[in-house]
Chains A and B, each alone.
Chain A
Amino acid sequence: MSLDLPMSEQPLYWPVQRRRSRGLWPLFCVVAAFLAAYAYLFPGLLSIGGLSKFTQSWFPLALVSMAQAILMLTGGISLAIGATVSLGAVIAATTMAGPLGVSGGMALVAAAGLGIGAVCGLIVVRLRLPAIIVTLAGSFIIGGAALLILPRPGGQIPGWFSDLLAGDTPVAALLLALVALVWKFYLATPLGLSLYAAGENPVAAYRSGVPVDAARIAAYAISGLLSTGAGLYVAAQTGSGDPVIGQAFTLNSIAAAVLGGVGFLGGRGTMRGALAGSLLLSLMINVMFFLGLPPVAQYVAQGLIIIGAVALPQINARGRQA
């Protein structure tokens, strides 16, 4: 209130960041509670090794949730996330052990992600076609391409690279921190912050001089990059490629983003929320696994939990209103 700084010297960036977390505290608390429960069930979590292993199981989901959240912020959506993850996985598994080597393979995976995303974005934005349909059709094309590259599970990721990413190291945690940091930087650029305006009110944003089309196409490209990146990581985890390994990520990415408070209509939500949502989902899956539920029952439980988790805030909100 009575700060000594002259008014024009008060900062803007950090207060804005703080306020953006507002409304997310209930979610953060739920996540913390689940973390505590998980740590109680599995005390091994509270070690470098345990944390590393857990981050590794969370990492791909975190990436695809970000991939989905970026699109949802611009008012789009992708039903091709799963197929793109698969494509990333098979590209990595078929190139990295070959003459291109690990770095060549990584470059290819990144180029594929950016390229696919940019093309999807161009079709949706420039040709004004509905994102749901374009990405649904796109999932067939991308999934088909994955099948062409690798018709059945196989390929190989060099052992040392697998160990580096998914072995007994906290690399996944570091990578996640890095991705989050890069996102922060991106959001501090005019193009990055345009996402919100382009998603909520594209016409008005365009009239204000916001590069709406560029922001949306860039979002699709980044989304593609994050998805193939997740695929690369999944391939490193298993040591090989599988052309349908990504399927479950489509639903889970949407669920995590929605759990994290990202809205479907554009301009609503935050990336930190989406990350928290993906962590929550990941914890639920892990807890179920440790409770010894059979894999099939996990499907059932997962369906119920997602509906419950999405519905609860609504019921709460209405309770408050009354």
Chain B
Amino acid sequence: MSDAAASSPLARRAISVLRSGPFLTVLIVVAVWIAAGLTLAGFGSYGHLRYILELAAVIGLVAAGQTLVIIGGGIDLSVGAILTVTAVGVPLLAWDADTSGGIAVVAMLAVAAGIGFLNGLGIALLRVHPMIMTLAMATFLQGVLIIVAGGSAVSMHNPVVAWLGDARPFGVPAGILLWVVVSAATLFVLHRTPFGARVFALGANPLATSLSGVDVNVTTMAIYAASGLTAGLAGVLMLGMNGQGYVGIGDPYVLSSIAAVVLGGTSILGGSGTYAGSIPGSALLVTITALITVVNASAGWRSILFGSLILGLLLLSGREAKSR
């Protein structure tokens, strides 16, 4: 029989936190940082770690929507294309009356959410498989982007976006602040609202969810719209940090966002997980990428290292053990 300590709710809660995916991922990130900081000159400096977090913010934003979608039993392979749409669209949308640039940003975020909503529409109403729907959407957007923007990069002169990329209120980069706000909102929605509960239910058993009176179609459309929105936000942040947008800027974020979600302990099968894991998952991915860059290998080796490390981390955590 279990001992007294384990049966007290507080102790049980503490144990479950210590054993949880998010906490393990945080441990891995910290361990990697310490190891890299001791061995690589400059890695552990405050400036470098802050830079890593800034980059992680982009993945983290994309992963916020991706987490919702994956917990809801889907997958969004169009986040890269949506990110590119805002990163290219905001500079193209500049006009004189919009002195702050805010209107362009808001308009493009609405477009991003709209694209996500269309994904949800196809998946919920036309019953197209999420992977097909979002991949086809990505293909479609890629075509449109090339027609609209061509192959060259577009520079932006948008004060709001520039502020987001450069400013450091209270010494913290604005991008990281944005990430904190979005994280808080995502965690609240997932774990503290009826909508979040519906997403968890949807991912575990869509039929039972619909028979329990949940409007499954609306919930599906909402999570994909949210995914579009956070990918759009990431696009704006990316544009601010880069100064220019180009076709293909968002491509790496499809894998990164999914990997961040899965490394954070969320089940790719849907129904269980938390954004609290995707946050350290994002930081872990950027750290890996940074380490690979330090190693200064060729493109081929970088790609191999990246894939192997993700695979290795997955094996290490081994959380997705499917029962059979």
Interface residues of B in 233-290 (CB under 8 A from A): 255, 258-259, 262, 268-269
Known interface pairs A128-B322, A137-B310. Does A251 touch B139 (Cβ–Cβ under 8 Å)?
Answer: yes
A141 engages B139 (CB within 8 Å)? no
Contact between B143 and A303, CB atoms less than 8 A apart: yes
Report if A171 contacts B (CB, 8 A): no
Interface-lining segment among B11-19, B54-62, B126-134, B181-189:
B126-134
Instruction: Tell whether, in the assembled complex, residue B262 and residue A130 are in contact, meaning their CB atoms are under 8 Å apart.
Output: yes
A296 to B144, CA, bound (A): 8
Q: Within 8 Å of chain B (Cβ to Cβ): is A136?
A: yes
A3: CB under 8 A from chain B?
no
- A133-B258, A136-B255, A299-B143 as given contacts; A151 in contact with B298, CB under 8 Å: yes
The answer to whether A296 touches B146, judged by C-beta atoms less than 8 angstroms apart, is yes
Interface presence of B5 (CB below 8 A) = no
Q: Quick one: closest B residue to A149, CB to CB? A: B300
Q: Which residues of A contact B302 (CB under 8 A)?
A: 144
Contact of B140 (CB < 8 Å), options: A133, A140, A304: A304
Specify which of B268, B311, B318, B320 is in contact with A137 (CB 8 Å cutoff): B311
For the complex formed, measure the closest distance between the CB of A295 and the CB atoms of chain B, giving whole angstroms.
Answer: 9
- Which among B127, B137, B304, B320 is the interface contact of A141 at CB below 8 angstroms? B304
Query: Digit string of B168-183 for contact with A (CB within 8 Å is 1, else 0)?
Result: 0000000000000000
The answer to the question of A286 belonging to the interface, with a C-beta cut-off of 8 Å to chain B, is: no
Least CB distance, A220 to chain B, in whole angstroms = 15
A side interface size, CB within 8 A: 48
Q: Does A147 contact B (CB under 8 A)?
A: yes
Q: Which of A26-34, A158-166, A181-189, A309-317 contacts B (4 or more CB under 8 A)?
A: A309-317
**CB nearest to A257 among chain B residues:** B132
> Is the beta-carbon distance between B307 and A139 smaller than 8 angstroms?
yes
Nearest Cβ on chain A to B78's Cβ, whole angstroms: 10
Residue B86, interface by CB 8 Å? no
Contacting residues of chain B (173-214) with chain A, CB-CB under 8 angstroms: none
Q: Encode B111-141 as 1/0 by CB contact (under 8 A) with A.
A: 0000000000010001111011101111111
Q: How many B residues are at the interface, by size bracket?
A: 35 or more
Secondary structure type dominating chain A contacts: helix
| Contact indicator A300/B301 (Cβ below 8 Å) | no
Quick check: B311 and A251 within 8 Å, CB to CB? no
Q: A145 and B304 in contact (CB under 8 A), knowing A128-B320, A134-B311, A137-B311?
A: yes
Cβ contact within 8 Å between A132 and B75: yes
Q: Which residues of A contact B307 (CB under 8 A)?
A: 137-144
Are A300 and B310 in contact, with the CB atoms below 8 A? no
Give the distance to chain B from A274, nearest Cβ to Cβ, in Å.
14
Distance from A143 Cβ to chain B, minimum over Cβ atoms (Å): 6
Query: Which B residues are in CB contact (< 8 Å) with A300?
Result: 140, 143-144, 147
Once bound together, how far apart are the Cα atoms of A306 and B140, in whole Å? 10
How far is the CB of B230 from the nearest CB of chain A, in Å? 20
Flag whether B99 is at the interface (Cβ < 8 A): no
Contact between chains at A254 and B131 (CB < 8 Å)? yes
Residue of A144, A148, A297, A298 with most partner-chain B CB within 10 A: A144
Indicate if the CB atoms of A129 and B320 lie closer than 8 Å: yes
Residue with the greatest number of chain B CB neighbours at <10 A, chosen from A136, A145, A148? A136
Nearest chain A residue, comparing its CB with the CB of B263:
A133
Can you name 13 extra interface pairs (CB under 8 A) apart from A132-B258, A296-B147, A302-B140? A127-B315, A129-B320, A133-B268, A133-B314, A137-B314, A141-B307, A147-B298, A148-B301, A206-B324, A255-B132, A300-B143, A301-B143, A304-B136
